[in-house]
Amino acid sequence: MRLNAYLSRAGVASRRKSDELIKAGRVRVNGEPGELNTFVGSRDVVEVDGKPVAKQKLAYVLLHKPAGVVTTASDPQGRPTVVGLVSHSSHVVPVGRLDVETTGALLLTNDGPLAHRLAHPRYGVEKVYEVETWKQPTDGTLRKLAEGVKLEDGTTAPARVRRLAGARFELVLHEGRNRQVRRMVEAVGHRVRRLHRSVYAGLKLGKLKPGEWRELTRAELTALQQLSG
User: What is the set of domains in the chain, with CATH numbers?
Assistant: 3-53 (3.10.290.10), 60-121+203-227 (3.30.70.580), 126-200 (3.30.70.1560)
CA distances to 18, 26, 45, 47, 228 from 32, rounded to whole Å, are 16, 11, 10, 10, 36
What is the predicted pLDDT for the residue at 138?
97
pLDDT of residue 15: 79
User: Which is catalytic among the residues 99, 111, 139, 153?
Assistant: 99
Could you confirm whether 99 is annotated as catalytic?
yes
Q: Report angle CA 113, 117, 118 to the nearest 5 degrees.
A: 115
Residue among 215, 144, 120, 40 at smallest CA distance from 48: 40
- pTM equals 0.82
Alpha-carbon distance of 183 to 10, in angstroms, equals 37
E strands, 50-126, are 51-53, 60-65, 93-94, 103-109
Higher pLDDT, 114 or 8: 114
Report the percent of the chain where pLDDT is more than 70. 100
Q: Which of 25, 172, 202, 4 is nearest to 107 (CA)?
A: 202
Band of residue 183 on the pLDDT scale cut at 50, 70, 90: very high
**Best CA proximity match to 81, nearest among 92, 70, 91, 90:** 70
- Rounded to a whole number, what is the distance in angstroms from the first to the last CA of the chain? 19
| Better pLDDT: 205 or 93 | 205
pLDDT at 44 over 90: no
3-state SS, residue 102:
coil
186, pLDDT greater than 80: yes
pLDDT of residue 57: 84
Cα–Cα distance for residue pair 132/169, rounded to 1 Å: 7
CA atoms within 13 A on the CB side of 151: 17
- What pLDDT is stored for residue 50 in this prediction? 92
At 42, is the pLDDT very low, low, confident or very high (cuts 50, 70, 90)? confident
The residue that leads in pLDDT, 4 or 199, is 199
> Which is more confident, 185 or 42?
185
The answer to whether the CB of 114 falls within 8 A of the CB of 225 is: yes
85 vs 16 pLDDT, higher one: 85
pLDDT of residue 90: 83
Instruction: Indicate the pLDDT class of residue 92, thresholds 50, 70 and 90.
Output: confident
Over pLDDT 90: what percentage of the chain?
A: 68
